[in-house]
Structure 1
Amino acid sequence: MRWPRSLEEVQFTVVEGPCITAAASGEPVYLTDWDPGARRWSLFASALRERCPDIAAVHAFPLWAGDGVLGSLDMASTAPKHGSWHISRMVVTKIFGTI
């Protein structure tokens, strides 16, 4: 499975995407609908769909340390639309305690 590497490579190459936005804003970002996603991050959406067409959703969570964001964690899923964000949020909350 090349998703994690491809997801990160695309975001850092085009310098946009859910993970970068989550780190910059300090808020979780849920990409579950590719049409608005393509409008928000056109380079990211186009490049990721080309490299990983089976990814249906991307969820990014900021990683806080005290008052600052250290970075972010993103998760990709083949499950489209609603519900996949809820599972991702539960996993991140279990691992890190809070988001």
Structure 2
Amino acid sequence: MVSSQREVDLADVFVLLADSLSAGHDVVDTMDILVQSSTEFTAATDAGILLADSGGVLHVVASSNERTSVVEEAQLGYNQGPCLDCFASGEPVEVSDLSEESGRWPVFVAIALSRGFDAAHSFPLRLRGHIFGSLNLFSSVREPFSDQDAALALALTQVATISLVQHQTIRNQGAVNGQLQQALKSRILIEQAKGVLAQRHGVPIDAAFSLLRTYARTSSSKLHDIADAVVYHGLSL
């Protein structure tokens, strides 16, 4: 049987996710792979990831673009939205038409709709009863995920979560929380590097992040390390 190119590419993504931390990447690199692959292989157009710190407070650690970051931060700021409900319940949350949920999440829905998002699909980063965060997929089409897309999103989150804790046991929660704290620090540095590159090249923030991500991938480097070089050592991309 001849495999399609999509199947080959998807298999490569699962291998990359499984190997991401053992290959020396940071948690933020693993989450970035998850964000990119989930929008490439499902009907979602945009994606973001929330991870909980040691105190159980959620933070945005990855997003496909700036408008997604804005919507994710709005959920956290106003404490409402499908991603938070997904994290709290540990179960997927499917919202095929956000406009019908204004009574449930009034501020979040207004912000999401203003940014061009009409549907949301959230999946927990969960392993053995422990919930570390959620993958949040957005689209401009008011319809539910297909069974195939939902199954794929769940599979991607499961592999990413396993890679997140593959060198630790769930009982060693302190070590896992340490990884998450490092991811949050890396995220801050990456945001600074995006700003530097945007100003340096006169491009939008999304384009600046694309420059950063592409350089890290082609040089087999951590996003954190490239961001550090841009911010503190004058690396020119």
User: Could you say which TM-score interval applies, normalised by the shorter chain?
Assistant: 0.7 to 0.9
CA distance in 2, matches of 1:12, 1:41: 12
Out of 7, 26, 33, the residue aligned to residue 97 of structure 2 is 33
The alpha-carbon deviation at position 33 of structure 1 amounts to 1.8
Aligned-residue Cα RMSD (Å) equals: 2.1
CA displacement at 1:97 relative to structure 2: 4.4
Corresponding residue to 2:136 among 56, 69, 74: 74
Q: Which amino acid counterpart does residue 81 of structure 2 have in structure 1?
A: G
Q: Indicate the structure with greater helix content.
A: 2
Q: Quick one: which amino acid aligns to residue 154 of structure 2?
A: T
Give the paired residue count. Answer: 95
Report the CA distance between 1:24 and its aligned residue.
0.2
| Distance (whole Å) between structure 2 residues aligned to residue 3 and residue 88 of structure 1 | 22
Q: How far apart are the structure 2 equivalents of 1:37 and 1:85?
A: 20
* Partner Cα separation in structure 2 for residue 65 and residue 97 of structure 1: 7
Deviation, 1:74, is 0.3
Q: Report which of the two structures shows the higher radius of gyration computed on alpha carbons.
A: 2
How far residue 90 of structure 1 moved from its aligned partner, in angstroms, is 3.1
What is the aligned partner in structure 1 of residue 45 from structure 2? none
Deviates more, 1:26-35 or 1:10-19: 26-35
Structure with a larger share of its residues in strand: 1
Q: TM-score w.r.t. structure 2 length?
A: 0.36
Query: What is the CA–CA distance in structure 1 between the aligned matches of 2:140 and 2:151, rounded to whole Å?
Result: 17
Q: Does 1:56 align with 2:113?
A: no
User: Which has the higher relative contact order, 1 or 2, with Cα contacts under 8 A spaced 6 or more apart?
Assistant: 1
- Residue deviations 1:70-98, cap 9 Å, x none? 1111000112123x354541331331348
**2:126 is matched by which residue type in structure 1?**
W
Range moving further from structure 2, 11-20 or 30-39? 30-39
> 1:89 corresponds to which residue?
150
Q: What percentage of aligned pairs have identical amino acids?
A: 26
What is aligned with 2:74? 10
Shift of 1:63: 1.2
Query: Any unmatched runs of 5+ in structure 2?
Result: 1-64, 160-237
Q: Give the letter aligned to residue 138 of structure 2.
A: A
CA gap 1:85/1:37 in 2 versus in 1, 3 angstroms: farther
Q: Deviations over 1:17-70 (max 9, x none)?
A: 0100000011111111234311111121122223x0x21211111111211211
The CA distance in 1 between the partners of 2:117 and 2:151, in whole Å, is 20
Using a 3 Å threshold, how does the CA distance of structure 1 residues 36 and 89 change in structure 2: closer, same or farther?
Answer: same
| TM-score, scaled relative to structure 1 | 0.79
CA contact (8 A) 1:59 1:85 kept: no
Query: Structure 1 regions of 5+ residues with no counterpart?
Result: none
Q: Which amino acid aligns with 1:60?
A: S
1:47 aligns with 2:108: no
- Judged with a 3 Å threshold, the aligned counterparts in structure 2 of structure 1 residues 14 and 79 are, in CA distance, closer, same or farther, namely same
